[in-house]
Amino acid sequence: MTDNFQSWMDGTRQRVEGALRSMLDSYRGQVPELLAESMAYSLLAGGKRLRPLLVVAAAEAFGASGRERVVTDAAVAIEMIHTYSLIHDDLPAMDNDDFRRGMPTSHRKFGEAAAILAGDGLLTEAFAVVSGGDEPSRLRLCALFARHAGARGMVGGQVDDTVSEREDTEAFLDQVNRRKTGDLLALSCAAGACAAGANDEVIGSMQRIGWLMGHAFQQWDDVLDVEGDPALMGKAAGNDAQQHKLTYPRLIGVEATRQSARNKIQEARALIAPWLPAAAHLDALAGAMIDRKH
């Protein structure tokens, strides 16, 4: 990782964090204090902010100058939806996790009802953020958000991940991860391109790139759950096995999972290559999906 890329990531994260705090501050006095506190608790808990970074990097690839407001709003909205999904994933009825990013999960901190409603609030308000302007791209952005975050996308993947009647096959697991993880990364890449004014063909290509990244990201997470350092990950390793979850290491082994993830990132970077050097940050983010420690 180069110093310039690290500096870009740090600066982009700072801008996103500031926008998230400003958005949360606007709710103070307008929503119940418990709701405001529980939304802020999870939304400001840190993390890689990978999805907002992808939004900004994809927008840069297609000329984001003059469109900074809609790009920032898309980045904020995607992080709100991602955080809502984590809150709900951690619930006892789903993954039943006690810690997230080294902190008690929302339902452990505030109770299940408050956690569910905090997630509901973040999901709904995300659409208020992304639709909050008069730029022509915002209507298309709303449609992209609904498609990738909804029943045909991430929520559908969450259902596949929780049903007892499942197929213990790699094809079924691919379907789960394409929706549960891949759709939000596909949305991130597509939303950045859309906010920058890219055409439908380009947006479709960015969706493909995001799905490849998301698939590889989930495969690498599966590897980390087997052999990662809990201190670096912010949660215990081995939870997937304890929950008897279907994972790639369980189906094809750890080394084959690593290689599959690397192959997907190689394909994603080949698709990005025609847009270099404008897409340099997007290309670097693709590379960061694998060979990571957390």
Write out pLDDT tens, residues 200-245.
999 999 999 999 999 999 999 999 988 866 655 555 555 555 556 7
Residue-wise pLDDT tens digits, 9-35 = 999 999 999 999 999 999 888 999 999
- Give the pLDDT confidence score for residue 80 in this predicted structure: 97
Most confident among 103-107, 172-176, 188-192 (mean pLDDT): 188-192
Distance of CA 106 to the CA centre of its chain: 18
What's the mean pLDDT in 180-195?
96
Phi, psi of 236 (to 5 degrees): -70, 145
pLDDT at position 39 over 90: yes
More confident residue, 1 or 251: 251
What's the mean pLDDT in 82-111?
91
Could you give the CA distance from residue 115 to residue 37 in angstroms, rounded to a whole number? 11
Distance of CA 14 to the CA centre of its chain: 17
Residue 149 burial (CB count, 10 A): 23
Residue-wise pLDDT tens digits, 54-86 = 999 999 999 877 799 999 999 999 999 999 999
CATH architecture designation of domain 3-287: Orthogonal Bundle (1.10)
pLDDT at position 40 over 60: yes
Residue 246 burial (CB count, 10 A): 20
| Average pLDDT, rounded, for the chain | 91
Burial class (CB in 10 A: 0-12, 13-18, 19+), 7: exposed
Confidence (pTM): 0.91
Give residue limits of the domains in the chain.
3-287
Could you give the CA distance from residue 11 to residue 17 in angstroms, rounded to a whole number? 10
Percentage, residues of the chain above pLDDT 70? 93
- Give the pLDDT confidence score for residue 47 in this predicted structure: 85
Across 108-146, b (16+ Cβ under 10 Å) vs e yields bbbeeebbbbbbebbbebbbebbeeeebebbebbeebbe
Q: How confident is the model at residue 291 (pLDDT cuts 50, 70, 90)?
A: confident
pLDDT at position 117 over 60: yes
Percentage, residues of the chain above pLDDT 90? 74
Paired tokens of 243: 């929950």
Least confident of 100-104, 267-271, 275-279: 100-104
- Give the pLDDT confidence score for residue 95 in this predicted structure: 82
Burial class (CB in 10 A: 0-12, 13-18, 19+), 185: buried
What's the mean pLDDT in 98-108?
89
Burial class (CB in 10 A: 0-12, 13-18, 19+), 35: middle
Q: How confident is the model at residue 157 (pLDDT cuts 50, 70, 90)?
A: confident
